[in-house]
Amino acid sequence: MDTNFQDPQYKVAVADLTAESLSRIIEMAWEDRTPFEAIETQFGFDEKAVIQLMRSQLKRRSFELWRERVTSRGTKHVAKRPASVLRHHCSTQYKMRNR
């Protein structure tokens, strides 16, 4: 993990995360409909801290792709969301499918 971040509170917070929590934050950050505010509410990481976390945990190109994706999504911020988006996940997400 990269420890060159300016904010010492960030380093402590990441060190305190379980592997499961870290994985969930990364998963939520990749999800199109999960706003940064939801990550902050659940884990205490604001958008800046999530960006730092993603930079430290992802490969460089993966981080660049994620940033491009997040920058173009209006659903990643509650204030920018269209009124039609009422929940944090897709209607088919987290449902078992018969195969």
Nearest Cα residue to 73 out of 41, 45, 47, 93: 47
Q: Are 5 and 52 in contact (CB under 8 A)?
A: yes
**What local confidence, expressed as pLDDT, does residue 56 receive?**
93
Residue type, 90: C
**What local confidence, expressed as pLDDT, does residue 1 receive?**
42
In the chain, domain spans: 8-80
**What local confidence, expressed as pLDDT, does residue 2 receive?**
44
Task: Give the pLDDT of the chain (99 residues) as one tens digit per residue.
Answer: 444 455 666 666 788 899 999 999 999 999 888 889 889 999 999 999 999 999 999 999 999 999 999 887 766 766 655 566 555 555 555 554 555
